[in-house]
Amino acid sequence: MPCAMRWCTSMDLQTTHWMCVSWANNATRQGTSNMFNKLKTLFGRQRYTRSSMHVLDGLGQHGAKPRPFDQDAAVRQCSHWVYAAAMLNANAVASVPLRLYVRKRAGRKLFKTQPVNNAQRKHLTGDNGHDSRPSQTVLNKAAHWGDQFDQVIDRHPVLDLLHQVNPHQNGFELTVLRMLYLQITGNCYLHPVMDQRLNRPGELWLMPSQWTRVIPCKERFVSGYSYGQNPLDQVRFDADQVIHFRLPNLSDMHYGMGRLEAVWDALGLHDAKREMDTARFDNHARPDYLLVVKQGASADALDRFEKQIDSKLRGPRNSGKFITITGDVEAKPLNLPVDIIGDSERVLEEIAAGFGVPISKLLTNNPNRANAEVANRSWLRDTILPYCQMDEEKLNEKLLPMYGIEDDAFLAYDNPVPEDKVFQLNRRTRYVAAGIMTINEARREEGLAPITDGDQPNN
């Protein structure tokens, strides 16, 4: 039968249907044997080293590689504390401004720019005096260009796209979703829809990770991506049609490992504890009383007595009812511990640690201001900053070349880590006293105007 290949040009996330253009390939009805011979000839021409053979092991339908972790289950598990922790990180990353910087050129400027202020320049070049730096691409370009680059403040095709990524989503929404999928599944897939008239991306769409699979290739490592909820109705993308963000995964080179996977066992314990609590409220998790028949009774009589008790007192609707018992029967309450399995606070601590979120941000335990500021700064430095670095690195690598400006521009997030003002003040005080820095240099860092005779260092 004829073979058809569908290439996606746009999609609607509200209906999850794709608007696709379909065409038939050049293959004609030549029979199954001819098709296999053609595939054998196609792949038989390539020669590979032994070390590259494992990348195609265990391929599934349509050549896609099965994911090592159940990402459908991971997405379904994104609720309660997991969702709260992941949203804290996602919103924090999306709130950091992403700016475009261009190298200075002679001649008329195509877009309005402004000089980079001192604080931004120090962050971009890694000279801000503390341990928060941008990605390596940004560091290299900023160091190579010196002071010969400015910030774009006018409308620019790249900034326009990142501000309004498609007709249904803005840039903030897409960044939040991108960070959520990264944390929950370890992978995020963006599909840039090309504007054929301008030959550049006109829209950006997020492909849900639970419905996207990698198609490995021995020659190019990845030959494409397969998307679709129905295994029999998949949309095929070339490798250059998808921007794949992924977190490190030591057990798989094609798929990332999400933070949710790191706390998966703790979540299982948490779910078991919640089911037990629900069962206890439904009055069938454990016995509350032990009935002792002192005179003895037959097995049939005891069984009949238990069924009567069960039918009258079982279930939440029968809670609080009483029963009258005749005979020599004694009821002894069983004071079993409330927390038989699991500790909800410990599980919450594991979730917070797994997602790199201070537990004080999930619980209203009112920490003092000093502890809250230290925890917040550590969170921004150790969790949010790496996400910003990874995101800007991938956008510079994959998105800017689609505009042909990768050699003359770069995208960079602002520094999400606030300046340690006490540390910087002490540093400037020591430098001025030692003659390393002048008074006016210290005042300039504070944003203050220079003073007379402030350019002479102390002896």
Whether 452 and 313 map to the same domain: the answer is: no
Whether 199 and 71 map to the same domain: the answer is: yes
Greater confidence (37 vs 320) lies with: 320
Whether 182 and 57 map to the same domain: the answer is: yes
Whether 75 and 56 map to the same domain: the answer is: yes
Domain of 295, in residue numbers: 287-335
How far CA 397 is from CA of 135, 244, 274, 339, in Å, comes to: 11, 11, 45, 51
DSSP tag of 61: G
Q: State the Cα–Cα distance between residues 113 and 102, nearest whole angstrom.
A: 8
User: Which pLDDT tens digit goes with each residue over 73-85?
Assistant: 778 877 788 899 9
Whether 94 and 145 map to the same domain: the answer is: yes
Q: Are 350 and 263 in contact (CB under 8 A)?
A: yes
What is the per-residue pLDDT for 262?
83
Residue 31 lies in a domain: no
AA identity, residue 403 = Y
Q: Which range among 162-171, 262-271, 286-295, 395-404 shows the weakest confidence by mean pLDDT? A: 286-295
Whether 186 and 297 map to the same domain: the answer is: no
Whether 142 and 79 map to the same domain: the answer is: yes
Whether 432 and 387 map to the same domain: the answer is: no
Nearest-CA neighbor of 125 among 103, 147, 99, 93?
147
What is the per-residue pLDDT for 337?
56
User: Which pLDDT tens digit goes with each residue over 241-262?
Assistant: 999 999 999 888 899 998 888 8
The position carrying tokens 């090592």 is 68
User: Which pLDDT tens digit goes with each residue over 114-138?
Assistant: 999 888 888 898 887 667 889 999 9
Identify the helix (H) or strand (E) that includes residue 164: none
Helix residue ranges per DSSP H, 22-79: 32-44, 71-76
Name the 3-class secondary structure at 22.
strand
Residue 334 scores a pLDDT above 90 = no
Number of domains in the chain: 3
How far CA 330 is from CA of 212, 284, 301, 311, 405, in Å, comes to: 63, 21, 16, 20, 86
User: Which pLDDT tens digit goes with each residue over 204-227?
Assistant: 999 999 999 999 888 888 999 999
What is the per-residue pLDDT for 40?
42
Residue 195 scores a pLDDT above 80 = yes
Cβ count near 427 (within 10 Å): 17
Residue 286 scores a pLDDT above 90 = no
Note the pTM of the prediction, 2 decimals.
0.71
